[in-house]
A and B are shown apart, each in its own frame.
Chain A
Amino acid sequence: MAHSPMTDHDDAYDPTPDNSELEAHLQTKNMVINLGPSHPAMHGTVRMRVELDGEILAKVDTEIGFLHRGFQKSCESVTWTQVIPYTDRLNYVSALMNNFGYLNAVEKLMGIEIPERAKYIRVIGAELHRIADHLTATGALGLELGAFAAFLYGIEARELVADRVTELTGARLTTNFGRIGGCNRDLPPGWIEKTIKTLDRTIELADEVGGLLTRNRIFTDRCRGTGVITTEDALDHGFTGPCLRACGVNYDIRKAKPYWVYDRMKFDVPLGKNGDNLDRYLCRVEEIKQSVSIVRQALEQIPPGPVILDDWRIVLPPKEEVYSTIEGVMAHFKLVMEGVQVPVGEVYDSTEAANGELGWYLRSNGSGRPYKVHVRAPGFHILSGVGKMIEGRMLADLIPTFDTINMIGGEVEQ
């Protein structure tokens, strides 16, 4: 019985063709081609130098660095608050999560606690951008496997979320929201009602996308059993987030070490079984629904109050004070020119971003500028495991794999 890619899913392929004696006189050589940095399937400029044996990837060499923008070095020459726009551009699809993750780490290093309302706003913002990120990932997965309509539904939902985020922060993508000590802006009036309507519509659209893809034979055949990674390898490489949960490991920082107000939210963490593309896709779809539920709960529970601390050593004074009192103008001056004085020390802190554990290792030398900002990008480690996932598989399996891991070039290459 001939091997068939359609029926055989779990065994590794045997690249040697059956009629080896017949073909022995053909001197074949593996072809090395470039899935170059500029390629529609290579999300955000990754180069894969693949050695092909027919359709089978004999060897995969991933090369990154085409989007390296010197994030760490830039952060070392600006103040702690000026790092926030840099963090926007790491995972540019879910910028709020980067902002808040970084601020969480700085606040932990300083040992300050932000007001309740600010915590709720951070949860809402983070979950909204998680929805946006997962929608983009699943939509793009559909797009690259040929389901253009699913992509459009996903993007429509994402546009609605982006509208809400624009109303909140002022920008669709690079939000620069949140400051050390809380959030710089409160929820605009009427925003909560609009967001609830957005969430309803998002659920409808996510269901559309799911309806088009999840039970689609072509889709599942391409995604099931492809891009498989064992739990061992996943942990070894440093997979976190939906990619790890698809292997069955129940690790979600929001549940393991709750931060902000996640301990007051009721939500489930979807787990997969096989660690293949289909499970990753299903995890993300389910997480969209869970995030919608979290946002609904947060919008209900959000208390009134200040959104940022009142301490002028950390937070800019209100403008009336800055323009009319010497204390205000001095505080403003020093905070802007010298930066918030973060005490000497180091911290490692992490939050659950859309792709996994977004970790921050910050080092301060006591001045208003960071000494070192290291971002543990979830995509970096997942991308390092992609080679393992698809070596020995067919070239066509590379495409859904690259989509489901949702590697965002900005965070991988800082």
Chain B
Amino acid sequence: MSDEQKPVAPPAAPPGPPAKAPPKNPGMVTFTVDGREVIAKPGTNMVDAAKTVGVEIPFYCYHPRLSIAANCRMCLVEASNSPKLVPACQTAIGEGVAIKTATPKVKESQRAVMEFLLLNHPVDCAICDQAGECKLQDYYMRHDHKPSRLERVGGEGTSGMKVLRNKRKIIGPNVVLDQERCVLCTRCVRFMDEVAKEPQLGVFNRGSHEVIDVHPKYGALDNNYSGNVVDICPVGALLSRDFRFRARVWFLSAAPTVCTGCSNGCSVSADFMGQDVYRYRPRENEAINKSWMCDQGRPTYKAFHASRLLMPVIGKGADAREATNSEAVKYAAMKLKPLAGSVAFAVAPTVSNEDLMASFAFARDVLQSKTVYVTGRAPGAGDNFLMKADKNPNRKGLTWIAKGFGFELKTFADFTAALDKNAIKALYLVGSDVPEDAEVFAKRLAGVELVVAAAMHETPVTGAAHVQLPASSHIEDEGTFTQEAGITQRVRRAFPPRGESWPAWKWAVELGKELGGAAVYGTSREVFRTLAPQVAELKDYAWDKETPMNVKGQGNQTLPAGADGRPPGWREQGVPRIRGI
């Protein structure tokens, strides 16, 4: 008669959290920034997502291609799902969250962060290269425009007591470090660690004494990608030794072009003023170089100025004399005429596709050639990131064009063999780069009766030519280059050709005209439009539209660009250039 103990049901489980509402756009995250709706893929950084609706969140340490550090605290924003301000670069975007970037709390936070960053910042704007492209300057004017509250040492008008650290410390062959200007965003440290894979920089000490310095294990910042830390440093702490004190950035305008240091063809912007290029900066190109370039390619802009051949030279050795372009064309044509049919054609894969196509057309139609000797630069070191062993920027283009025009490619070994056998009577040479020593090669040319060379630089090779035709560089003309993976890129013209130089295609066209050829092209655009259809891989290339000259965001300069994309201050060639005007 015991009561049957019914098994007691376990106590009801407390109600769990409410079921999550399904996302508004399935597969994407929908949230609002300042009232504007943003629909982004999950995993997108909040800073990038806000940019798509035109909201600019300030940041120093965030970089889309580096890991997130969130140590600058500049990007703090108000989020509806958090009582505190959250760093936008670090916080994952959440469904239905309302982000506000312009409330008084956020504004005060931005102002306070700026104030703290500037407390120990040296008064260096007048001597710092970064002026004009400095994030501290830009964000100060936008988010904190208040005077300093640092206690002055000697009363009004004197400086405050700032923490002093190493200034202009040379830490590598290309980079100089100013530890006082550093805001410790650690972008450089993360870059060297993650992208260059050689952690040569590190943060040392603590608190106010924190500094960025070279890791004692490495001793110097000599990695092949050290120049990129100069680009990513938001302040003037890491500066390029090569560019230091050479130009103020607002006088420079940027032309999108391609680095011609090796066959990787990294997209760069060439910053120029007047007819001089001052530096290369990598341009974003997801396919080729992301936002980086190697140190070996950075100084290749110097080729635009150093030992340029600027006037045609007729004659060799003691009889060499300068001539005008038309004179040189007539002379070369006169000399080439009796030898037509037996003129060898040699080309270096360092010139643009338009130069190559016009030269090939000239060689095929006028010189009646069927074979082309390939010279070019000797191979060098390559690594597994951006630098390639083949140092010729347009080898792929040359291969395609030779195939399209029906030429047989002969190697440099064939070339030297033919020269040694004295089998070559006349030579039309485009580009003066040769894979062996220039002096040695010049001696080989001694036996050739007529050498007509269209080249950019004065080298012993051109010195051995009977007619030297000055060719302009790719920065002085519109053109294309094809890098080794087969991607063709447009290069834009920055300034007119220096001296009396003409683009190599123009020499080919003029010589052709003198020798009775029919080709008449006035611009490289016409060259491309007429001849590219003969090259299978180039005929569908959108020559006009690719890589437009960015009239609005011209480099870092704040001077307005004229209608052609250049600032109103630069002068035509030949007029004395006053720096900055």
Contacts and interface: CB of A to CB of B under 8 A. Distances in A.
B137 A325 contact: no
Nearest to B136: A330
A338 B147 CA distance: 19
Of the four ranges (under 10, 10 to 19, 20 to 34, 35 or more), the interface on chain A belongs to 20 to 34
B150 interface: yes
Contacts of B559: 77
B564 interface: no
B126 interface: yes
A321 B137 CA distance: 15
A232 interface: no
Interface string B533-560: 0000000000000000000000000111
B387 to A, nearest CB: 36
Interface of B: 118, 121-126, 131-132, 136-138, 140-141, 144-148, 150, 152, 156-160, 250, 558-560, 568
A324 B157 contact: yes
Given A311-B145, A324-B157, A341-B141, 6 more contacts: A312-B147, A324-B123, A325-B147, A326-B125, A331-B141, A337-B132
A320 B141 contact: no
30 contacts: A77-B560, A77-B568, A311-B145, A312-B145, A317-B147, A320-B157, A321-B148, A323-B123, A323-B157, A324-B158, A325-B148, A325-B150, A325-B160, A326-B118, A326-B121, A326-B123, A326-B124, A327-B118, A327-B140, A327-B146, A328-B147, A329-B123, A329-B126, A330-B137, A330-B140, A330-B141, A333-B137, A334-B137, A367-B558, A369-B560
A76 interface: yes
Contacts of B118: 326-327
A330 B125 contact: yes
Contacts, number: 73
B394 to A, nearest CB: 38
A327 B144 CA distance: 9
Q: Is the interface of B mostly helix, strand, loop or mixed?
A: loop
Contacts of B250: 337
B487 to A, nearest CB: 34
Nearest to A312: B145
A43 interface: no
Nearest to A317: B147
A298 B158 CA distance: 38
Most chain-B CB neighbours within 10 Å: which of A77, A327, A329, A341? A327
A313 B148 contact: no
A76 B123 contact: no
Nearest to B120: A326
A368 interface: yes
Interface in A312-369: 312-313, 317, 320-321, 323-331, 333-334, 337-338, 341, 367-369
Contacts of B145: 311-313, 331
Contacts of A338: 558
Contacts of A337: 132, 250, 558
A178 B251 CA distance: 28
A317 B126 CA distance: 15
Contacts of B159: 324-325
Task: Give the 4 A-B residue pairs with the shortest CB-CB distance, closest first.
Answer: A320-B157, A325-B148, A329-B125, A312-B145
A316 to B, nearest CB: 12
Most chain-A CB neighbours within 10 Å: which of B132, B141, B146, B156? B141
Contacts of B141: 312-313, 330-331, 334, 341
Nearest to A329: B125
A333 to B, nearest CB: 5
A369 B560 CA distance: 8
Contacts of A333: 125, 131, 137
